[in-house]
Structures are given as C-alpha cells and as structure tokens.
Chains A and B, each alone.
Chain A
Amino acid sequence: MRAPVRHLAVALAGSVALAGIAVVGAAGSLWLNRGLPAVRLACADVGGISPRDAMALVPAGVLWVDARLERDHEVGHLAGAVCVNEMNWEAQVSALVFAWRPAMRVVVYADRGDAGAARRVAALVRVAIGLRDVVFLDGNWRDLGAAFGIDGGAP
C-alpha cells in the first residue's frame, strides 16, 4: 500500500477507535444526566412557525410571548405580548399563566437571528408549564407589527 494511503488508513482506524471510546463515555454520562433540565428542554418537540403562518393562527386565539430582555420589550413589542425570558423566567412566568386562556396558541418570539432564545422559552413553556400548543416564531416579529400594532413606542 502506498505510504499516504497507509497513513490515512491507520489514522482513520485510530480515530474510529477513539470515537468508540468516547461513545461509551458519552452514553454513560447521558444516562447519569438524563434528567437535566437542559437535556429535557433540548429534546422538547417545539416547532417553528413563519410570520405568515402565525397570522393564520390568530382567529383561534394567540398569546404572544416576547422572549427578549425587558429593556428590548419596553422599547417595542407586539401589542398584548407578555415578556417572559430565560433570565427572569421565575419572576415572569406568572404573567404568562394569567394571560393564557384555553384554546389559545402560544407563539414565542425573539429578535430576528435569535430564534434560539424563542425556541428555548417555548420549550420551557411546554416542559415547565405543560402547555401543548406552543410554537416559536422563525422570522421577524416586526413583520406582524403592521397587523397587530407595536406597543412601547418603537417605530
């Protein structure tokens, strides 16, 4: 076998062996940490929704949840939105619970480019509160501003 090919073959075999060892360790760690909130949240089945699809949910009732920080919420947010973010979850979650009504869909939004924060808060709503109809907005919440209005003085 030519030397470069042989080196690569030996390297690949070694890498696979190391990966095998890592898989055993990872499986053990995952089993020990299976109850971690971060693991449960990451595995929560929360879907994304486009601004157009979010509009279609409105007739049945939507509760907007603003997952951004308070200072951003105060600058401007969708009319009627409740501010609930990861940083102040425990202090803010009661506002969400009191605003929610049966048959309402919960749509969580954050700033464009930070749908991860919206997804995580949506997962929290599903896992911690147990609401089933929760989605996160995968798009720009300001696209909905024309239809619902923006509170807080944002242009």
Chain B
Amino acid sequence: MRLAAVGCRWLLGALFLVAGCAKALDPGGFVRDIDGYRMLEGPLLVGAAFFIPFFEVAVGTALVLRWPYRGAVLAAGGMLTMFLVALVQAWARGLDINCGCFGDGPGLFGYPWWVARDAAMLLACAVCWTEATKGPGPDEGGAR
C-alpha cells in the first residue's frame, strides 16, 4: 500500500506540474479552452484561467515535496472532481471542446479518454489520502 501511495504521489505531482506549467505558459489558449466549456464568463473566466495553472503548479510541487501533503492531496482531489464535472457537463451538452488539460494541444482521444484519465487520477488521490491519514503526516511533524 505504501509503495502504491508513493507511486501515485509522484505520478500525480508530475502530472500536475506538467499540466500547470503548460497552461501557465499559454494563458490566452487556456482562456479559450475554458470558454469552450460554457461554464464561466467574463472576469470569472479570466480569473479561473489564470488561477488554475498556478494552483496546479503549487499542488504538484507540494505533492512531490510531500509538504503540505494532506492539503495538496485534498486540493488535487477537489480540482480533479471539478474537472470531471466540467467534462461530463460539456459531454452531456455535446460541446465541441479542447479539454485544455495539458495546454493547447490537439484533443486526440476525446471525452471517454479525458474522463477515464481524470477518474484514474482521482483514484490515485484516494490512495494518497488513505496513506496520508494514517497517523500524523509530515505536515504535522510526522515522518516524511
């Protein structure tokens, strides 16, 4: 279990770092990508487009450094849940979107792949959370 949690933590950390950096480097493209979901408009859309990449970088770094570990796992889980809701509502509405998850690249596989990938990452978060909540965590003076 512990080995699985370590693997999940590194995988999640790396994915969040890559995704956050790709979006932070192309804010205009990410504004367009989020606009495609038709969930946000105006200043809220712009605010989200600039906040999410930096939050992903912060969470990815925290996952790799394992500090603040539980905060990073909770934030990652919250973000992935939000991404899943956004994807499912766009899929249900038949919107033609670019998922925007890893920057402005081509959406190669479409909704089934995006949803499966986010669900798998959410599962990895659950594994990390289970491990993180066994005894005091590193952000509470426990072993790192």
Question: Which residue numbers of A lie inside 8 Å of B, CB to CB?
Answer: 3-4, 7-8, 10-19, 21-23, 25-27, 29-30, 33, 36-39, 42-43, 45, 113-116, 119-120
10 other A-B residue contacts (CB within 8 Å) besides A11-B73, A120-B35: A11-B71, A12-B74, A13-B71, A14-B71, A14-B72, A18-B58, A22-B55, A36-B27, A42-B41, A43-B42
Whether A29 contacts B46 by the Cβ 8 Å rule is: no
Q: Do B46 and A43 have beta carbons less than 8 Å apart?
A: yes
Across the interface, do A22 and B51 meet the contact criterion of CB distance under 8 Å? Answer: yes
How many Å lie between the Cα of A25 and that of B36 in the bound state? 24
Whole-angstrom CA separation of A12 from B47 in the bound complex:
22
**Which residues of the partner chain B approach A3 to less than 8 Å between Cβ atoms?**
133
A22 B54 Cβ-Cβ under 8 A: yes
**With a CB–CB cut-off of 8 A, which chain A residues contact B75?**
14-15, 18-19
Tell me if B59 counts as interface (CB < 8 A to partner A): yes
**Which of A10, A22, A115 makes the CB contact (< 8 A) with B58?**
A22
A-contacting residues, B40-65, CB 8 Å = 41-43, 45-47, 49-51, 53-55, 57-59, 62
B residues in contact with A18, CB < 8 Å: 55, 58-59, 62, 68, 71-72, 75
Interface class of chain A by DSSP = helix
CA distance A108 to B74 in the complex (A): 42
Residues on B with C-beta less than 8 A from A33 are 27-28, 50
5 nearest CB pairs, A to B: A14-B71, A14-B68, A25-B54, A38-B28, A11-B70
Question: With A and B bound together, what is the CA distance between A8 and B72 in angstroms?
Answer: 12
- Which residues of B line the A interface, CB within 8 A? 24, 27-29, 31-32, 35-36, 38, 41-43, 45-47, 49-51, 53-55, 57-59, 62, 68-75, 78, 93-96, 132-133, 137, 139-140
**Nearest chain A CB to B139 CB, angstrom units:** 6
User: Are A26 and B35 neighbours in the complex by a CB distance under 8 Å?
Assistant: no
* CA of A115 to CA of B70, assembled, Å: 40
How far apart are the CA atoms of A114 and B37 in the complex, in Å?
Answer: 10
Contacts of A11 in B (CB 8 A): 70-71, 73-74
**How far, in whole Å, are A38 and B74 apart by their CA atoms in the complex?**
31
Given A15-B78, A39-B31, A116-B35, check contact A45 B71 (CB 8 Å). Answer: no
